[in-house]
C-alpha cells in the first residue's frame, strides 16, 4: 500500500463517532449472549469491512488524475489535519457528504445487517429446536445446503 492509500486508510479509521457506534454494537452483542471472543471477532470483521467499503467508495470517486493529485499532496508532507480537510472538500464536492458521514452510513448499514442476521438466525434456531427429531435433521440438511425456503416450509408445517 503506497503512502496515499495508507493516508486514506488512516483517516477512515480515526473517528470518535465510529468508536461510539462500535461500543453500542458491542453492548447489543453482549445483550444477545455473545462472549468476549465472539464480540471481538465480530467487531474486528465489521470494522475491517467498513474501512474497505469506505476506501472503495472514495477510490471509485477519484479518477486517475485526482488520485495522482492526492498522492502528490500526501507525499508533500501534509499532516493528517490538512489531509482530512482536503479529502473532506473533495468528498463534499463529489457527494455532498464528508468522510465521517460516508463512513458512518456504511457502518450503520453493516451493523443493522449484522444484527438482523444474528436475530433472524437465533429465531430460526429456536423454531428448529421445537421441531421433531426427524424434522430437525431435515432442517439442518436444508440449512447446510442454503435452502432457507425449505427450512421455512418445515417450520410452517408445509
- Domain that residue 141 falls in: 3-155
CA 67/CA 84 separation, integer angstroms: 15
What is the number of other CB atoms lying within 10 angstroms of the CB of residue 72? Answer: 11
Domain count, the chain: 1
28-81 pLDDT tens trace: 999 989 999 999 999 999 988 998 899 899 989 999 999 899 889 888 988 888
CA 49/CA 18 separation, integer angstroms: 13
pTM: 0.77
% of residues, the chain, pLDDT over 90: 38
Q: What angle do CA 80, 73, 18 make, to 5 degrees?
A: 35
CA 62/CA 66 separation, integer angstroms: 5
Amino acid at each position: 500500500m503506497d503512502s496515499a492509500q495508507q493516508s486514506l486508510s488512516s483517516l477512515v479509521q480515526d473517528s470518535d463517532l465510529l468508536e461510539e457506534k462500535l461500543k453500542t454494537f458491542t453492548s447489543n452483542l453482549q445483550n444477545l449472549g455473545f462472549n468476549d471472543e465472539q464480540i471481538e471477532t465480530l467487531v474486528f470483521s465489521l470494522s475491517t469491512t467498513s474501512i474497505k467499503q469506505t476506501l472503495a467508495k472514495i477510490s471509485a470517486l477519484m479518477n486517475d488524475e485526482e488520485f495522482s493529485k492526492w498522492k502528490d499532496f500526501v507525499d508533500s508532507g501534509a499532516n493528517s489535519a490538512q489531509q482530512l480537510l482536503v479529502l473532506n472538500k473533495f468528498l463534499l464536492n463529489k457527494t455532498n457528504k464528508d468522510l465521517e458521514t460516508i463512513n458512518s452510513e456504511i457502518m450503520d448499514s453493516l451493523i443493522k445487517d449484522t444484527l438482523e442476521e444474528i436475530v433472524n438466525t437465533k429465531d430460526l434456531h429456536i423454531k428448529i429446536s421445537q421441531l421433531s427429531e426427524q424434522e430437525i435433521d431435515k432442517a439442518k440438511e436444508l440449512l447446510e445446503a442454503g435452502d432457507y425456503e425449505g427450512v421455512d416450509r418445515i417450520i410452517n408445517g408445509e
